[in-house]
A and B are shown apart, each in its own frame.
Chain A
Amino acid sequence: MQQFLVIALILLALGYFIWHVYQLFFAQQTNCKGCGLTPKHSNESDI
Chain B
Amino acid sequence: MKIALLGNPNTGKSTVFNMLTGLRQQVGNFPGVTVDKKQGSIKTPNHTQQLIDFPGAYSIFARSLDEQVVQDVLTNKEHTDFPDAVIYVADAANLERNLLFFSQLYDLGFPILLVLNMWDRAQRKGLRIDIEKLQQQFPAATIVTANARVAIGKDRILQALDQLQNGDRTPFFDLDLTTLQTDSTQTDNTNARLDKLRNIGLVQNAPTTPVNSSTRLDRILTHRIYGYLIFTAVLLVIFQFIFSFASIPMDFIDGQFVRLSAWGAANLPEGLLSKLITQGLIPGIGGVFVFVPQIAILFFFIALLEESGYLSRVVFIMDRIMRPFGLNGKSVVPLLSSVACAIPGIMSARTISDWKERLITILVAPFMSCSARIPVYTLLISLVIPKTYIGGILNLQGLVLFGLYALGILFALGTAFFLRLIVKSGKPGFHLMELPEYKAPRFYNVGIAVYEKVKIFIFDAGKIIVAISVLLWALASYGPSSRETKLNELKVSASYTKASPSQQQELENSLLLSQSYIGHFGKWMEPAIAPLGYDWKIGIALLSSFAAREVFVGSLATIYAVGDDTDNNKRLVQKLRDEKNESGQVVYSLATGASLLVFYVFAMQCMATLAVVKRETNSWKWPLIQLAFMGIIAYLSAFVVYQVLL
Contact = CB atoms under 8 A, between A and B. Distances in A.
B68 A34 contact: yes
A13 B471 contact: yes
Interface residues of A, number: 34
Interface string A1-21: 011011001101110110011
Interface stretch (B57-65, B205-213, B572-580, B591-599): B57-65
Contact of A37 (B33, B35, B359): B359
B425 to A, nearest CB: 11
B470 interface: yes
Interface secondary structure of A, over-half rule: loop
A30 B33 CA distance: 7
Given A35-B350, A35-B616, A43-B68, 12 more contacts: A14-B467, A20-B463, A24-B608, A25-B610, A29-B32, A32-B32, A32-B34, A35-B34, A36-B616, A37-B358, A43-B67, A47-B58
Interface in B589-646: 607-608, 610-611, 614-619, 622
B615 A30 contact: yes
B108 to A, nearest CB: 19
B64 A10 contact: no
A32 B347 CA distance: 12
Given A6-B273, A24-B607, A44-B350, A30 B466 contact: no
Given A24-B607, A35-B616, A13 B467 contact: yes
Contacts of B350: 34-35, 44
Contacts of B353: 40, 44-46
A45 B63 contact: yes
A47 B63 contact: yes
List the 10 closest pairs (A to B, CB-CB), nearest first: A34-B65, A36-B618, A24-B611, A13-B470, A32-B33, A13-B467, A2-B273, A45-B63, A2-B271, A6-B272
A33 B65 contact: yes
A37 B615 contact: no
A35 B622 CA distance: 14
B355 interface: yes
A33 B619 CA distance: 15
Given A25-B611, A40-B353, A45-B353, A2 B64 contact: no
A19 to B, nearest CB: 10
A2 to B, nearest CB: 4
Contacts of B547: 17
Nearest to B350: A34
A20 to B, nearest CB: 6
Contacts of A14: 467, 471
B464 A20 contact: yes
B608 A44 contact: no
A35 B183 CA distance: 20
B172 to A, nearest CB: 23
Contacts of B607: 21, 24
Given A17-B464, A21-B607, A30-B618, A40 B355 contact: yes
A5 to B, nearest CB: 5
B474 interface: yes
